[in-house]
Amino acid sequence: MKHRLIQTISDEGDIVEAQAPVIISASRATDIPAFYADWFFRRLDIGYLRWRNPFNGKYSFVSFRNTRFVVFWTKNPAPLLPYVSKLKGRGIGCYIQYTLNDYEDEGLEQSLPSVKRRIETYKRLVEELGEGSVVWRFDPMILTDTIGINELLQKIANIGDALQGYAEKMVFSYADIALYKKVVRNLDAYNIKYREWDMPLMMEFAERLSRLNALRWRYSLATCSEKIALEEYGIEHNRCIDPLLISRLSPNDVELQNYLFNTKRDLGQRKSCGCIISKDIGQYNTCPHLCKYCYANDSENIVKANYQRHINNPLIDKIV
């Protein structure tokens, strides 16, 4: 994945080479809106940030000079609300991939505000940003000894009812726990009796979700990075960095529209991912939500230490 390179000036006054992406993803790797909103908008004002490659550990510079759109990913976007006008003032568009689950009783997302408060935040964001600018994700769908398909559908129904008139789409994925050793390790450490999805269970869930949706809401339904074909149930493959939605939300940005017309699928993502090219600026092991099924955190102690370093030095040009 290549982005245009430009020169920028670092905080130390050095001239450095930086990537200058048109679309920023903030972020698949951590919850920037919930914990790093102040940092993000400070770096936006300064004009650049530093990003650490999770595979080789090397740092590179990312400039905001050409940025026309930001896709935020979050489970608690409330800290983002005071900053929305800043993006508008800069002529930068955005939408929010809002993961609004309900694992409250099971304690799988123990550091989040209540479901009720998160629903209220969803509605406030839609009122501020407009229809289509907040995408509801119930992600991932987890099966345990206390959560089966019936329980998942009831949780979805409760949130889906509350979001009527505010949500247009629901995006979900099936938890692939065995694929991530750190997730298996963390769930085992918390003594969570998880179950893997198999094909019959996935098909049953899709059929029943589709029927529920038809009876109650008629949201668009889509899966995130799932190989399984569910079109017979009216469930599409999602593009979370979605050129059609970006185009719809920024109809008068000629530069961005030209970019969207010419850009391609992001080959740096999983094969089943339909996202177009963007630059993700997050870091693993930095999300203090500490959800028990998280694939982005190795351990609670590492996350807490990294976040404390950020608190101690919030002006630095990188998260960690």
CA distances from residue 106 to 132, 289, 291 in whole angstroms, order as listed? 30, 15, 11
pLDDT for the residue 169: 98
With respect to residue 158, please indicate whether it lies within any of the assigned structural domains: yes
pLDDT for the residue 1: 46
Provide the domain limits for residue 204: 5-312
With respect to residue 136, please indicate whether it lies within any of the assigned structural domains: yes
With respect to residue 160, please indicate whether it lies within any of the assigned structural domains: yes
Provide the domain count of the chain.
1
pLDDT in tens, 229-241: 999 999 999 999 9
With respect to residue 320, please indicate whether it lies within any of the assigned structural domains: no
pLDDT in tens, 297-314: 999 999 999 999 999 999
With respect to residue 319, please indicate whether it lies within any of the assigned structural domains: no
With respect to residue 175, please indicate whether it lies within any of the assigned structural domains: yes
DSSP state letters, the chain: ----EEEEE-TTS-EEEEE--SEEEE-SSS-HHHHSHHHHHHHHHHTEEEEE-TTT--EEEEE-TT--EEEEEES--GGGGGGHHHHHHHT-EEEEEEE----TTTTTTTTSPPHHHHHHHHHHHHHHH-TTSEEEEEEEE-EESS--HHHHHHHHHHHHHHTTTT--EEEEEE--GGG-HHHHHHHHHTT--EE---HHHHHHHHHHHHHHHHHHT--EEEESS--S--GGGTEEEP-SS-HHHHHHH-TT-HHHHHHHHH--B-TTS-TT--PBP-EE---SS--TT--TT-SS-S-HHHHHHHHHHHHH-TTSSS--
pLDDT for the residue 214: 98
With respect to residue 120, please indicate whether it lies within any of the assigned structural domains: yes
β-bridge mates for residue 48, sequence order: 63
CA distances from residue 1 to 4, 214, 279, 280 in whole angstroms, order as listed? 10, 39, 9, 11
**Closest C-alpha among 295, 283, 259 to residue 49:** 283
Structure tokens of 144? 């345990």
With respect to residue 96, please indicate whether it lies within any of the assigned structural domains: yes
Whether pTM exceeds 0.75: yes
**Cβ contact 33:309 at 8 Å:** no
Counting as low any pLDDT under 50, the low residues of the chain are: 1
